[in-house]
């Protein structure tokens, strides 16, 4: 019989979840290109080699982070007051995530860029396009893309802090202005 303490069994589900969480945080903070596998492993407290085991590579991990953020529920359109508020609150807490950043900053990896673009359409553009089409408006996709670009511009400028009043505005003051701007595309 061996006197050594039995090694702890790996909890693969927990390690996978820790890697997803750490990667999501780092991709939001730094972007894909400036986040290393080592950084993700360190933040997660997991051997970075597990990224290859669970996700194939960093691109696969990024794609899975994007999928995990959305979950299984189709998001409501941006013009729903609760949706607009939730996205602004989240951006105020965590900053613009990788999907939002993909609209203004291309990633070096085409797989990553395609995944982020697909999620941007799934989360923001397509629900608005469907709303505009159902309302019988002409060029619903162009209207939806314009609304998303306006929303992301406000969100990113707010986070950058370069537009002083926008950066410090309370949500209660900002929401009606932004809603009015976006709803102007719904006519």
Q: What is the pLDDT of residues 134-176, one digit of tens each?
A: 999 999 999 999 999 999 989 888 888 889 999 999 999 999 9
CA 175 to chain centre: 20
> What pLDDT is recorded for position 63?
84
Q: What is the CATH number of the domain that holds 39?
A: 1.10.10.60
- Asked if 155 and 95 sit in the same domain, the reply is yes
- Asked if 133 and 93 sit in the same domain, the reply is yes
Residue 118 lies in a domain: yes
- Asked if 57 and 131 sit in the same domain, the reply is no
Q: How many domains does the chain have?
A: 2
Sign, CA torsion 139/144/145/151:
positive
- Asked if 62 and 92 sit in the same domain, the reply is no
Residue 5 lies in a domain: no
* 8-33 confidence digits (pLDDT tens): 456 888 999 999 999 988 887 787 88
- Asked if 19 and 107 sit in the same domain, the reply is no
Of 111, 8, 11, residue with least CA distance to 66 = 111
What average pLDDT is seen over the chain? 84
Give 30's contacts (C-beta < 8 A, 6+ positions apart).
39
Residue 6 lies in a domain: no
- Asked if 179 and 123 sit in the same domain, the reply is yes
* Rounded-to-integer distance, Cα 49 and Cα 56, Å: 10
* 41-95 confidence digits (pLDDT tens): 999 999 999 999 999 998 889 888 888 776 666 788 999 878 889 888 888 887 7
> What pLDDT is recorded for position 6?
44
pTM: 0.73
Range of the domain at 49: 12-67
- Asked if 108 and 182 sit in the same domain, the reply is yes
SS3 content of the chain, % helix, strand, coil (to 5): 70, 0, 30
Residue 113 lies in a domain: yes
Give 66's contacts (C-beta < 8 A, 6+ positions apart).
98, 99, 115, 116, 119
Domain boundary among 43, 67, 91: 67
Residue 99: is its pLDDT beyond 70?
yes
Mean pLDDT of 114-132: 89
- Asked if 60 and 107 sit in the same domain, the reply is no
């Amino acid at each position: 019989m061996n006197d050594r303490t039995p090694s702890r069994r790996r909890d693969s589900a927990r390690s996978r979840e820790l890697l997803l969480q750490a990667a999501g945080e780092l991709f939001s903070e730094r972007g894909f290109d400036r986040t290393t596998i080592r950084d993700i492993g360190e933040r997660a407290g997991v051997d970075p080699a597990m990224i290859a085991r669970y996700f194939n590579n960093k691109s696969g991990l990024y794609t899975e982070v994007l999928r995990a953020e959305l979950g299984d529920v189709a998001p409501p359109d941006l013009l729903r007051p609760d949706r607009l508020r939730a996205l602004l609150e989240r951006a105020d807490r965590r900053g613009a995530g990788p999907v939002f950043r993909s609209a203004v900053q291309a990633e070096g990896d085409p797989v990553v860029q395609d995944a982020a673009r697909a999620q941007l359409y799934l989360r923001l553009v397509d629900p608005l396009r469907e709303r505009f089409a159902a309302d019988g408006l002409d060029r619903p996709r162009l209207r939806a893309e314009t609304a998303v670009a306006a929303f992301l511009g406000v969100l990113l400028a707010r986070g950058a802090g370069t537009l002083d009043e926008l950066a410090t505005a309370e949500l209660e003051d900002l929401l009606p202005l932004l809603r009015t701007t976006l709803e102007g595309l719904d006519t």
